[in-house]
């Protein structure tokens, strides 16, 4: 029996969703988590035909009680299900036991997320990331998987050691290779980011829980048409577009959404994607405000948890999206409840296009400050070429042509420093020519 | 902006002779993603012969917070309170209580964690406690 998550999924396959709930947990929250599992299954292209829950502490062999697993096996047979999806993380032994009993493939929530990522991965880098995440998930299970599958078999005379060892070693080698390759891709990205900064672009990224409407907002701000769906993880590959904010150029990046309990190995695997968020100048944290306050808080908490130690003081604007679904008094009540988790809130309806101007104003307010400076350029061919370069890199407020050219200029400090250096070199050259 | 009391306890593992715990509590003013002001810090050690129960932990936090001259909502990590649901703890504290959520609250817990850890290390050295 195949018990790894390698098989390609989806295409309307019938599945049963199963969840174990710990005693004395919050029932409302558990209900929401189950709803999230349903949406994840839908995003992976499955058709849930049955659901099963049990409240108990985990069983080491079956996760649920044995009786409940027998019930599950019966349900699998009667509905003709091809796969069982568990909300809870399953150990290798549990996976093996349950799939033996049910006679179909069994996966847990993390494998399901991996399947979604694998389906949506379109670029070389995202395929590598998915492969890395899958390998990292498999390593701790490698020994157990092999020993379960080859219970009786052992390498005989002159065999080169155990199967378990070699499979684990193989996985580890592949992990190192992929990490090396991703690292070089990350370096390319870093140099691209540095290049954009040098060119005077500020980098803004959209972050938020999955299905908060980040892509819709992205489209509304940059007038683009990135794929938008009412589905979890529609965006996996970051998309970047230029944005003109009253003369200041910025780059806006649409990124992958967060999800609760995202395990470390998955966050690590998608590090290079998430870096787009962590290393930006400004973060727009998108929140679906039409949901219940408790759910909004839970999702904000997940976002804060992912961000807090990685962003090093980067300003955050909370974009409260989908305001068209609520009236003003409802919005005020929600703000009262979630205000302590929402820095610099702005109300927006990305779909209806309201609030975008206010959002842009807020973005300008929080971008790294530009300096004002008065520059005197020589009125020469070289001086004119510096001036046209200044037009490209920042905002020219006033130009006066006389013996020299006086420019009132606003830009990043680095650009002004470079302009001053250029002017100085030009002056030295002119003086040298004059003395000749 | 609002006031919180960030609390962390170090030393909840067994050493020779029992458990030597140090609780640190800090009153801070925070916004959603920044610590705006640190007002006061208090530290309280506790020796226990037996493993600490939830009630011991709550009592220790209350004792430390009582020494502060400022009020605020007590904020801790979930693990510090044995991952118990929030409603259990809300009923056990005399002040408002919540688990860490926002960036500022997490930063505050990071700060208070370093305080309790270094205070415990110092006390263990000074009092020559066998760890």
Could you report the per-residue pLDDT of A38-68, keeping only the tens digit for each? 888 888 888 889 888 899 998 888 889 889 9
What residue in A sits closest to B100 (Cα-Cα)? A301
Give dist(CA A277, CA A282) in Å, integer.
9
- In the beta sheet, which residues pair with residue B91? none
Could you report the per-residue pLDDT of B94-118, keeping only the tens digit for each? 999 999 999 999 999 999 999 999 9
Cβ–Cβ of A304/B101 closer than 8 Å? yes
Lowest-pLDDT range of A121-125, A201-205, A252-256, B71-75:
A121-125
Q: Which residues are CB-contacts of B103 (< 8 A; sequence separation ≥ 6)?
A: A304, A307, A308, A316, A343, B32, B33, B34
Which pLDDT band, with edges at 50, 70 and 90, does A152 fall under?
low
Q: Which residues are CB-contacts of B62 (< 8 A; sequence separation ≥ 6)?
A: B93, B94, B95
User: What residues in B contact A366, CB-CB < 8 Å?
Assistant: none
**Rounded percentage of chain A residues whose pLDDT exceeds 90:** 5
Shortest distance between the Cα of A418 and any Cα of chain B, in A, equals 34
User: If you average pLDDT over residues A144-157, what whole number do you get?
Assistant: 64
Cβ–Cβ of A304/B85 closer than 8 Å? no
Q: What CATH number does the domain located at A200-366 have?
A: 3.40.50.300
CATH 3.40.50 for domain A371-435, yes or no, is no
**Chain B residues with a Cβ under 8 Å from any Cβ in chain A:** 2, 31-34, 85, 101-103, 106-107, 110
Look at phi and psi of residue A211 and say left if phi exceeds 0, alpha if psi is from -120 to 50, else beta: left
> Which of B1, B6, B33, B88 should we substitute to test contact with A (largest number of A Cβ atoms within 10 Å)?
B33
Which positions 329-348 of A are in contact with B (Cβ < 8 Å)? 339-343
Give dist(CA A228, CA A231) in Å, integer.
8
Cβ–Cβ of B103/A25 closer than 8 Å? no
* Total beta-carbon pairs less than 8 A apart between chain A and chain B: 37
Shortest distance between the Cα of A308 and any Cα of chain B, in A, equals 5
Q: Where are the domains positioned within chain A?
A: 14-117, 121-181, 200-366, 371-435
What residue in A sits closest to B107 (Cα-Cα)? A308
Shortest distance between the Cα of A144 and any Cα of chain B, in A, equals 30
Cβ–Cβ of A25/B85 closer than 8 Å? yes
The token duo for A320 is: 């409260």
Query: Cβ distance B37 to B107 under 8 Å?
Result: no
pLDDT of A13 > 70? The answer is yes
In this complex, the residue of A300, A304, A343 whose CB is nearest that of residue B106 is: A304
Give dist(CA A34, CA A36) in Å, integer.
5
What residue in A sits closest to B101 (Cα-Cα)? A301
Domains of chain B, start order: 2-126 (3.30.420.10)
Could you report the per-residue pLDDT of A371-412, keeping only the tens digit for each? 888 888 888 888 888 888 888 777 788 888 888 888 888 887
User: If you average pLDDT over residues A25-30, what whole number do you get?
Assistant: 80
In this complex, the residue of B34, B85, B102 whose CB is nearest that of residue A341 is: B102
What residue in B sits closest to A23 (Cα-Cα)? B85
pLDDT of A150 > 70? The answer is no
- In what side-by-side order are the strands of the sheet with A47-55? A47-55, A14-21, A83-86, A105-108
CATH 3.40.30.160 for domain A14-117, yes or no, is no
User: What residues in B contact A24, CB-CB < 8 Å?
Assistant: 85
Instruction: Mark out the alpha helices in B54-102 (DSSP H runs).
Output: 54-66, 86-90
Cβ–Cβ of B101/A25 closer than 8 Å? no
Shortest distance between the Cα of B13 and any Cα of chain A, in A, equals 25
pLDDT of B5 reads 97
Query: Cβ distance A372 to A410 under 8 Å?
Result: yes
Which pLDDT band, with edges at 50, 70 and 90, does B119 fall under?
very high
Give dist(CA B21, CA B125) in Å, integer.
14
Name residue, tokens 């806006």: A252
The token duo for A167 is: 């499979």
Closest CA to A215 of A321, A306, A105: A321
Strands (E), A255-340: 282-288, 316-321
Strands (E), B1-112: 2-10, 19-30, 35-48, 73-76, 97-99
User: What residues in A contact B85, CB-CB < 8 Å?
Assistant: 24-26
Closest CA to B82 of B55, B103, B60: B55
pLDDT of A2 > 60? The answer is no
Give dist(CA A129, CA A111) in Å, integer.
14
Shortest distance between the Cα of B15 and any Cα of chain A, in A, equals 30
pLDDT of A8 reads 45
> Would you call A295 an interface residue with chain B, using a CB distance cutoff of 8 Å?
no
Residue A253: CB atoms within 10 A of its CB come to 19
In this complex, the residue of B31, B34, B103 whose CB is nearest that of residue A307 is: B103
pLDDT of B118 reads 97
pLDDT of B19 reads 94
User: What residues in B contact A305, CB-CB < 8 Å?
Assistant: 106
Closest CA to A300 of A289, A311, A310, A314: A289
pLDDT of A1 > 50? The answer is no
> Would you call A316 an interface residue with chain B, using a CB distance cutoff of 8 Å?
yes
Shortest distance between the Cα of A282 and any Cα of chain B, in A, equals 13
Cβ–Cβ of B106/A340 closer than 8 Å? no
Closest CA to A361 of A396, A300, A317, A391: A317
The token duo for A399 is: 């130009």
Which positions 228-267 of A are in contact with B (Cβ < 8 Å)? none
> What's the distance, Cα to Cα, between the start and end of chain B in Å?
41
Higher pLDDT, A37 or B72: B72
User: What residues in B contact A340, CB-CB < 8 Å?
Assistant: 2, 32, 102
Q: Which CA distances in Å does A99 have to A8, A55, A137, A310, A321?
A: 18, 21, 18, 39, 42
Query: Cβ distance A233 to A209 under 8 Å?
Result: no
Cβ–Cβ of B102/A340 closer than 8 Å? yes
Q: Which CA distances in Å does A241 have to A221, A254, B22, B53, B56?
A: 10, 9, 51, 55, 55
Could you report the per-residue pLDDT of A252-307, keeping only the tens digit for each? 888 777 777 666 667 666 666 677 777 788 899 998 888 888 888 888 888 888 88
Burial class (CB in 10 A: 0-12, 13-18, 19+), A200: middle
Could you report the per-residue pLDDT of A194-230, keeping only the tens digit for each? 666 666 678 888 888 877 888 888 888 887 556 666 6
In this complex, the residue of B85, B102, B106 whose CB is nearest that of residue A26 is: B85
Cβ–Cβ of A300/B101 closer than 8 Å? yes
Cβ–Cβ of A340/B103 closer than 8 Å? no
Helix (H, G, I), strand (E, B) or coil at A196: helix
> Would you call A24 an interface residue with chain B, using a CB distance cutoff of 8 Å?
yes
User: What residues in A contact B101, CB-CB < 8 Å?
Assistant: 297, 300-301, 304, 341
Q: Which residues are CB-contacts of A22 (< 8 A; sequence separation ≥ 6)?
A: A55, A57
């Amino acid at each position: 029996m195949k018990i790894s998550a390698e098989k390609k999924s989806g295409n309307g396959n019938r599945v049963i969703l199963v969840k174990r709930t710990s005693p004395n947990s919050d029932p409302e929250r558990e209900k929401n988590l189950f709803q999230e599992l349903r949406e994840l299954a839908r995003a992976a292209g499955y058709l849930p035909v049955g659901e099963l829950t049990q409240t108990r502490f985990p069983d080491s062999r079956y996760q649920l009680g044995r009786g409940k697993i027998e019930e599950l096996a019966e349900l699998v047979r009667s509905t003709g299900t091809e796969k069982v999806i568990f909300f809870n993380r399953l150990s290798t032994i549990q996976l093996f036991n349950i799939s033996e009993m049910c006679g179909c493939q069994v996966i847990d929530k993390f494998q399901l997320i991996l399947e979604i990522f694998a389906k949506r991965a379109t670029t070389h880098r995202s395929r590598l990331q998915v492969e890395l995440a899958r390998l990292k998930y498999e390593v701790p299970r490698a020994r157990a998987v092999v020993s379960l599958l080859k219970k009786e078999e052992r390498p005989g005379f002159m065999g080169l050691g155990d199967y378990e060892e070699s499979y684990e070693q193989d996985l580890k080698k592949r992990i190192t290779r992929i990490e090396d390759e991703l690292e070089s891709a990350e370096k390319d990205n870093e140099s691209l980011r540095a290049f954009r900064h040098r060119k005077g672009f500020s980098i803004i990224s959209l972050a938020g829980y999955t299905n908060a409407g980040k892509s819709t907002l992205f489209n509304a701000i940059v007038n683009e048409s990135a794929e938008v769906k009412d589905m979890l993880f529609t965006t996996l590959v970051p998309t970047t577009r230029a944005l003109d904010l009253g003369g200041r150029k910025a780059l806006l990046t649409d990124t992958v959404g967060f999800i609760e309990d995202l395990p470390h190995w998955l966050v690590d695997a998608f590090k290079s994607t998430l870096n787009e968020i962590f290393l930006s100048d400004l973060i727009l944290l998108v929140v679906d405000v039409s949901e219940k306050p408790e759910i909004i808080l839970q999702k904000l908490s997940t976002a804060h948890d992912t961000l807090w130690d990685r962003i090093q003081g980067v300003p955050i604007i909370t974009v409260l999206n989908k305001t068209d679904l609520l009236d003003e008094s409802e919005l005020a009540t929600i703000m009262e409840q979630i205000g302590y988790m929402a820095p610099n809130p702005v109300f927006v309806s990305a779909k209806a296009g309201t609030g975008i101007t206010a959002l842009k104003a807020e973005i300008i307010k929080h971008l790294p400050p530009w300096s004002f400076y008065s520059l005197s350029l020589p009125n020469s061919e070289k001086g004119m070429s510096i001036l046209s370069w200044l037009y490209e890199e920042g905002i020219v407020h006033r130009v006066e042509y006389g013996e020299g050219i006086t420019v009132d200029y606003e830009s990043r400090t680095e650009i002004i420093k470079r302009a001053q250096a250029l002017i100085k070199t030009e002056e030295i050259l002119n003086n040298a020519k004059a003395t000749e | 902006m609002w006031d919180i009391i960030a609390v962390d306890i170090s030393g909840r593992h067994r050493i020779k002779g029992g458990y030597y715990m140090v609780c640190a509590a800090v009153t801070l003013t925070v916004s959603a993603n920044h610590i705006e002001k640190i007002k006061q810090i208090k530290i309280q050690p506790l020796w226990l012969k037996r493993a600490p129960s939830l009630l011991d932990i709550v009592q220790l936090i209350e004792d430390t917070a009582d020494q502060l001259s400022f009020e605020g909502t007590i904020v801790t990590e979930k693990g510090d309170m044995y991952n118990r649901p929030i409603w259990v703890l809300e009923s056990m504290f005399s002040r408002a209580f919540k688990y860490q959520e926002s960036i500022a609250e997490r930063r505050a817990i990071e700060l208070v964690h370093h305080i309790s850890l270094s205070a415990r290390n110092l006390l263990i050295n000074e009092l020559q406690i066998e760890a």
